[in-house]
Every structure is written in structure tokens, then in C-alpha cells.
Amino acid sequence: MDQSNLTGGTYLDICGFWGDNLNTIANSNYIIQTQYPLSKLAIRGTVEVFVDGEPLEAGWYYDISLNSVILEDTTILRGDEMFQVMYDYLDECPY
């Protein structure tokens, strides 16, 4: 239990109600993120979000101070869709 607490893990009582334990395990593995950090600094106005290849027009925004896409409506995703962010960025050219 100590190791689980130190590493942010979860521990369950093996004598406890198994249904509750399964819900705890399942819920901890299915958390839809609300913040998606980008690997490069995006050029404002070029950020696009897609769900299963379809443009997502609402329910998200780009936060330049966090350089992240913020998902405002998590009901858009149910877990099996492909969530994709596309954007342009400036990069130093080595040539």
C-alpha cells in the first residue's frame, strides 16, 4: 500500500466487494484527458482537431500560454475514436 501511495497507484482490498474493485480499476484506466500538450509551438490560427478524421468544430480551444488543445466537452470522445490534432509551427531550419 505504501508503494502504491508513493507512486500514485491504487490499492484494493482483496476481501472487499469485487464489483466495486472492478469499477475502480476500469474507471482509472478510462479517463479522457482535457488537455493535450503540443510538441511544438503552434502558429495561432492553424490548430485543427479531428475525431475519426472528421473536423471537430466546437468543444475545444487552443491555449497559447499552455501550448495545448483544451477539450471542453469530453462527451465527444467515448474512448475508441481517433483524436487527432494538426497544426503548423515554425522550426529552425538547419540549412
pTM value > 0.75: no
- The DSSP call for residue 51 is E
Q: Which residues of the chain form beta strands (DSSP E)?
A: 35-37, 48-51, 54-55, 60-63, 68-71, 83-86
Residues with Cβ < 8 Å from 28, sequence gap 6 or more?
10
Please report, in tens digits, the pLDDT of each residue of the chain (95 residues total): 677 666 666 777 778 777 777 776 666 555 677 889 999 999 989 999 999 999 999 999 999 999 999 999 878 777 677 889 999 998 766 66
**What is the pLDDT at residue 8?**
63
Residues with Cβ < 8 Å from 62, sequence gap 6 or more?
42, 44, 47, 68, 69, 70, 87
Domain boundaries, the chain: 1-31, 33-95
Chain Cα centroid distance, residue 73: 12
